[in-house]
Structure formats: structure tokens, C-alpha cells
Amino acid sequence: MTTALRSGLAVCSLLAVCLLSACTRNLKPSHATTPPENYTTRPEVTAFIERVAKQDHLNAAWITQTLAQAKHRDSIVAAITRPYESKPWYEYRAIFLTDTRIAGGVQFWNAHAATLARAEQTYHVPASLIVAIIGIESNYGRQHGGYRVLDALATLGFDYPPRGKFFQGELAQFLLMCHERNLQPAAVMGSYAGAMGAPQFMPDSYRQYAVDFDNDGKRDIWQDWSDIIGSVANFFHAHGWQPNGLIAIPAAWPKPTPPDNLLAPSTVGALRQQGVILSTGVSGDQDAILVGLQEQNNTDYWVGLHNFRVITQYNKSALYAMAATDLADRIAQARAQEDHHAPP
């Protein structure tokens, strides 16, 4: 299991560099003037309220009352235009692949070994990956974010046109989630993008993938470690994680210029036909993508396979997936070396 994770650690980076550089070139605060203090005075918000009330069977007056509490935050727009993932891999990895975070992962794994083993058995997702995801997302539950989710989703939904449609959709899901769980929307805290709890699920992910792993009648991704661990495992399982499957394999590009099809979905066989050199032990019909790992002085090429795509469903950034894969492997290695008698 660790070998599979380790083999994929490098796959994710250049994809992130390329994807995010493409996405962030035009990411600038879109509003020239300060938006009205009350979102509900804006016609596009009124249209949103009417649409969500109709399609999701929510009370329009309740939605209006809720959105009247939302506040525009310039800091949220500023944060989304400067994501960590815009950095090259050799800078990004220094943020997450630290001795402290690795040691924290070992400690977390030991503290929740039985639950992690049950999640791995139930969902067939490696415990090391579950731990790494929680470590990156919230530093093992220590950091849930300092923004009101209502403010984050309203600000990005109505004052950030590059991704307004997406965040309006998440705002609708958030309203549904609060209605279903009888939560006060203005009291829920999260990241600048509206991600919540220890696994930093967006509202739509919460509604689809959060599970009641301890059968106490609640799906609590904020304080219930059974539910948190089970929900992360369920997310990867639902997206088609292949147990013991490779994430990526090393490759070579013998020509002096980068290939034209970098990052384009393909198959192993098609990449070979275009000149990519890779292991002969991988069947040609497997889905694949040619990616690169940006180091300070060179680019290493890798071919990402199915599990690479699955990791990027959690966070579209391949740098993120790169860090998760590497951190998972390092935590597993450190745990094996430091505590041979720890529970599996």
C-alpha cells in the first residue's frame, strides 16, 4: 500500500502548476466599488433566493433572513487570488511536508488506529492517505478556518465572477445543509472558500459523502473523529479508489521541448505512441495523463494513472495531491520505524 502511494507522490505537481497558473492569471478582485452592505438588496441575490426556494423547497423568507446576515469580505477575495497551489512544487512541499506534520500524523494514527483500520477495511482506502488528508486540511483538527462560511460563500458567489456559479451552488448546498441539520448558518465557521470541519468538506461534499461512521445518528465532521475518518474514506471510495493501485509511474520525454499533449487525458498506449518512455509493465489501455514535476532546475515527467485522478477529485490542485501522497508515505514510514508495536 505504501509503495503504491509512494510511486505516485511526484505525479501531481506539474499538473497543479499548469492548471493553477492558467487559472490564476486572471484572478483579480472583480468589484470596482464596495458591494451593498445587505446582499438581499441586490437583484441577482433576489433571483438566487427565488431559484433556491423553488428548486430546493426552502422557505424564501428564511433564505432572505439568512443572506441578510452575510457580509462581504475583501480578505476572502484576496485569499482566493493567492492560493498556495500557485507555487512551484519545490516551494509548496515545504509548507506541508515537515517533520512536525509527519510526527503529528504518526500521533494521530496511533490515537485513532482502530477507527482507521475499520475505515480501511470498509472503504478499501489506505489509512495513511486518510491521515495525510486530515493533516493537510486541518493539521489533524487544529485548524478549521477563521471565516464564517456564510460570508465566504456569499462573497465568492456574488462578488467573484470567475467562479460565481460554483460558489452560488455551494451556497445553496450550505443552506440545505443548515436546514437539514438545524444549524444556525451565521455560526458555522470554515475556510475562506467555505470548506468545513477537520476534512474541510465543501457543503456539497458534506451532503454527498459525510457518513455517520459511529452510528450515533449524526454526521459530525467537526468533532466526531469516527465520522471524520469515515467520511474522508467514503469520499475516495465513492470516487473509485483502486485498492493497491498505482498512482503514477516515472516516465521520460527524450525531446528537448515539452510535449504538446502535456496534461491532456489519454491512455498509456497513446502516450507511448507519441514518444513517452515508461514502464512496459503497465497495460496500454489504462487511462493516463502525462504530467511533470517542477523542481528548481529541471522537470521530471510522470504518467498519472487512475488513483491520481481520484486524489484530484478531493482538491483539483495536483500540488495538493502530490503533497497528500508524499505525506501519506512519510507518515507510514515514520510510524513503522518509531513504533513497531502500535496497532495496525
The answer to whether the CB of 48 falls within 8 A of the CB of 168 is yes
Q: Please check whether residue 318 is in contact with residue 10, taking contact to mean a CB–CB distance below 8 angstroms.
A: no
For CA atoms 66, 69, 72, 75, give the dihedral sign.
Answer: negative
Cα–Cα distance measured from residue 127 to residue 313, given in angstroms and rounded to the nearest whole number:
18
Is 338 marked active-site? Answer: no
Catalytic residue among 85, 120, 137, 170: 137
Q: How far apart are CA 91 and CA 95, in angstroms?
A: 7
Distance of alpha carbon 210 from alpha carbon 223, whole angstroms: 13
Query: CB of 158 within 8 A of CB of 45?
Result: yes
Helices assigned H by DSSP within the chain: 2-7, 13-24, 43-56, 60-67, 74-80, 89-96, 99-111, 113-123, 127-138, 149-159, 164-181, 203-209, 225-238, 268-273, 306-314, 318-338
Residues annotated as catalytic (active site), given as ranges: 137
